[in-house]
Every structure is written in C-alpha cells, then in structure tokens.
Amino acid sequence: MKAAKLTHQLAFSLVAKIPPGTKLVDAQKQKWDVLIIVKDGTSLNGRFLKSLEQHIDAPSKRANILKALNELFPAALYDDYQAELAQSGVSCKIAHSFKGGAIKVWELKPNNKDRIYFFPMPDGVKGRKAIFLLMAYHKKDQQTPKEVKDFCENAIKEILDSRSNIEICEEKNVAKK
C-alpha cells in the first residue's frame, strides 16, 4: 500500500489557493505525520481527494474543510493533538467504531455538517505517529451514514493489513492530479 505525506501547504492547496502571508506548519516539527492513501507514488490520486471532489462542492463547504485542516496541522505538532484541537474550535470525536469497539473512525468537525474522517495510528508507520485522512463529507443528518462507515472501515482494514508494508511517498515525489 502507498500513502502520501501531506504537508500543511499541500493540504491547503488541495482545497483552496493559499493567501499571501498565511502561516504554515513546518512538517519537520510535527509529532504526527498526516497521510492519505494513494494508488501510486507519483500522483495525489487517492480516495480522500476523490471525496473532496464528490462531497465538498461549494465554497462554504471548502471553507469548513479548510478550517479543519488548518487546525489539524498545528495540533499535529503535539503528542496530544486532540487536546490541541479541543482549544481550536474544531471538535474531534469518535464517529464510528467496529471490531467490538477496538477500532475507531474519528471525525474532525468544524461545523454541524462538514467532516473529515480519519484514523490515527499512535504506534505509527515507519516509526512515526500517523493520522490517515480517509474521507471528507458533508453530512445531512446527525448519524454517520452507512456509506461513510463502510468506506472508512474498508480503508482502515487496508491500512492495518498493510501496516508493515506501507510505502510513504514524500510531497516532493508526488504531483497533484
């Protein structure tokens, strides 16, 4: 399995143009790597990006997803990223659990509707703590939809099954589609 490491700058550019003077987090200082699953190691073509295209289709939705990403990267500078997020105005909570509650899908919640679903791996990938961004979604009701649960479960199973063989592609080696 291949994963691409996202920097704050790259994540920002996937959602919007970076305004001049925007302060971006230095990836070298992060305690947690932020990753997405990709098909190959040369382009950003994975499921997370497809979910951005499918579900985040309006400027207001993009602004909310951008808010969540802009809080995630500074929080990733700390071991307890969730405590940092709690102070930011973007909530972080369990969206779904499976395998008897042992495995959890988490969500970043910048507002009532827009979400980024993710899976944290404190035991890490290649010796580094990792947060896998799985899906961006605009919810229509309070319950996490079955399509999101199924999608995230399958992605997490793939991550866990491939844990020792995950190849991480650095930003300089991947191009935007």
Q: What is the pLDDT of residues 129-139, one digit of tens each?
A: 999 999 999 99
Residue 123: pLDDT band (50, 70, 90) is: confident
Q: What pLDDT, in 10s, does the model give residues 160-172?
A: 999 888 988 876 5
Question: At residue 22, does pLDDT exceed 80?
Answer: yes
24 confidence band (pLDDT: 50, 70, 90) = very high
The angle formed by the CA atoms of residues 36, 124 and 54, to the nearest 5 degrees, is 15
Whether residue 175 is predicted with pLDDT greater than 70 in this model: the reply is no
What's the burial of 122, exposed, middle or buried (CB within 10 Å: 0-12/13-18/19+)?
exposed
What average pLDDT score do residues 90-107 get? Answer: 94
For the sheet with 114-125, list strands across it. Answer: 91-98, 103-109, 114-125, 128-138, 32-38, 2-6, 167-169
Asked if residue 57 has pLDDT above 70, the reply is yes
- pLDDT, the chain, mean: 90
Q: How high is the pLDDT of residue 13?
A: 87
What's residue 169's pLDDT?
A: 82
Q: Model pTM?
A: 0.92
Whether 42 and 175 have beta carbons less than 8 Å apart is answered as: yes
Which residues on neighbouring strands pair with residue 107, listed in sequence order?
93, 117
